[in-house]
Amino acid sequence: MAKATTWSKPASKALRAAGVKVGSIDTSATPGFKGDKRAGEKLLAERQLVLSDLQERLYANGRSGDTRSVLLVLQGMDTAGKGGIVRHVIGSVDPQGVDHAAFGVPTAEEKKHHFLWRIRKQLPRGGQIGVFDRSHYEDVLVVRVHELVPPEVWGKRYDEINKFERKLVDEGTTIVKVAMFVSLDEQKKRLMQRLERADKYWKFNPADIDERAYWPAYQEAYQAVLDRTDTDFAPWHVLPADAKWYSRLAVTELLIEALQGLKLDWPAAQFDIEEQKKRLAKA
């Protein structure tokens, strides 16, 4: 649980997607968190230690045969801050315990297969935290918006995704789905920064400007995702992402909650401790 003094309720409850209308999300809000940026950044540093400890427990158990894993699914428009979550939230835990995958335009090989083919190959191994920077949801987002396949094909994918995620959960993966929302204005600011700073040019893609014309279509596609794939076994969290400090803190809390739900003890020694101490003393 997050600290009672700064969170009015757990992040998972504050961000629950049930019933959310995409068009009315206040992207600058900080749901559930009562502090300001300074308090948020201070708390983030503390909570990263908690996350890191829990991740190490997950990893340790994985090494001892526990097949459970956690999968963070990040979705959001360009500049929403997915990369920042990877760097600042996931970046605070031991990299050997992270299975990271970013999904871009499918390769020629990937296009020949079912849309979940490339996803299945990147699922987290037991004991790992998986991170999807974009995901199978692109196949009902960009694909729907740009009609990359006919409606009867993408239309079936919501049910396919639910079935796929149900199976994943049954097999021991805790899925944490986060949809990050920035405003159209905030996106413009962030894209402009990419054009003004030499250290950001590499992130800029001229096509991102063209995509802005499709904003309403994307909103509709995100609405369908929330309406049709927000399940009790793999719920969506709607994350206002104009304030980067908040989005990073909130995702940290969501991961902490997911890991705490696994009730991870340190794995017991598979040897006689006293005997080994005696042996070592003489060695």
State the minimum distance, in angstroms, from the CB of residue 134 to ligand AMP.
5
State the minimum distance, in angstroms, from the CB of residue 277 to Mg ion.
54
Q: Which whole-number Å values give the CA distances from 49 to 37, 91, 93, 128, 256, in the listed order? A: 19, 12, 8, 17, 10
Q: Which of 14, 47, 78, 145 binds Mg ion (CB under 5 A)?
A: 78
User: For 42, what's the count of Cα atoms within 13 Å in the CB-facing half-sphere?
Assistant: 7
User: Does residue 138 bind Mg ion (CB under 5 A)?
Assistant: no
User: What residue ranges bind ligand AMP (CB under 6 A)?
Assistant: 78, 103-106, 134, 138-139, 142-143, 148
- Please identify, using beta-carbon distances, which residue of 29 and 101 lies nearer to ligand AMP: 101
Give the C-alpha separation, 270 to 283, whole Å.
20
Phi, psi of 9 (to 5 degrees): -155, 165
- Please identify, using beta-carbon distances, which residue of 55 and 187 lies nearer to ligand AMP: 187
Q: 212 contacts which partner out of Mg ion, ligand AMP, none, CB within 5 to 8 A by kind? A: none
Structure tokens given for 54: 């829990």
State the minimum distance, in angstroms, from the CB of residue 110 to ligand AMP.
8
State the minimum distance, in angstroms, from the CB of residue 88 to Mg ion.
18
Q: 101 contacts which partner out of ligand AMP, Mg ion, none, CB within 5 to 8 A by kind? A: none
State the minimum distance, in angstroms, from the CB of residue 55 to ligand AMP.
24
Q: 262 contacts which partner out of ligand AMP, Mg ion, none, CB within 5 to 8 A by kind? A: none
Name, in order, each residue with C-beta under 8 angstroms of 45's C-beta and a sequence gap of 6 or more. none
- Please identify, using beta-carbon distances, which residue of 66 and 138 lies nearer to Mg ion: 138
- Please identify, using beta-carbon distances, which residue of 139 and 242 lies nearer to ligand AMP: 139
- Please identify, using beta-carbon distances, which residue of 60 and 148 lies nearer to ligand AMP: 148
Binding mask 82-101 toward Mg ion (x if CB under 5 A, else -) reads --------------------
Q: Which whole-number Å values give the CA distances from 118 to 138, 150, 159, 180, 238, in the listed order? A: 12, 20, 18, 23, 25
Q: 4 contacts which partner out of Mg ion, ligand AMP, none, CB within 5 to 8 A by kind? A: none
State the minimum distance, in angstroms, from the CB of residue 112 to ligand AMP.
13
For Mg ion, which stretch binds (CB under 5 A), given 76-84, 107-115, 127-135, 143-151? 76-84
- Please identify, using beta-carbon distances, which residue of 151 and 206 lies nearer to Mg ion: 206
State the minimum distance, in angstroms, from the CB of residue 205 to Mg ion.
5
Q: Are 175 and 71 in contact (CB under 8 A)?
A: yes
Residue of 70, 49, 43, 46 whose CA lies nearest to 58: 70
Whether the CA torsion 147, 152, 155, 161 is positive or negative: it is: negative
Structure tokens given for 243: 């304030």
- Please identify, using beta-carbon distances, which residue of 147 and 171 lies nearer to ligand AMP: 147
Residues forming the site for Mg ion (CB under 5 A): 78
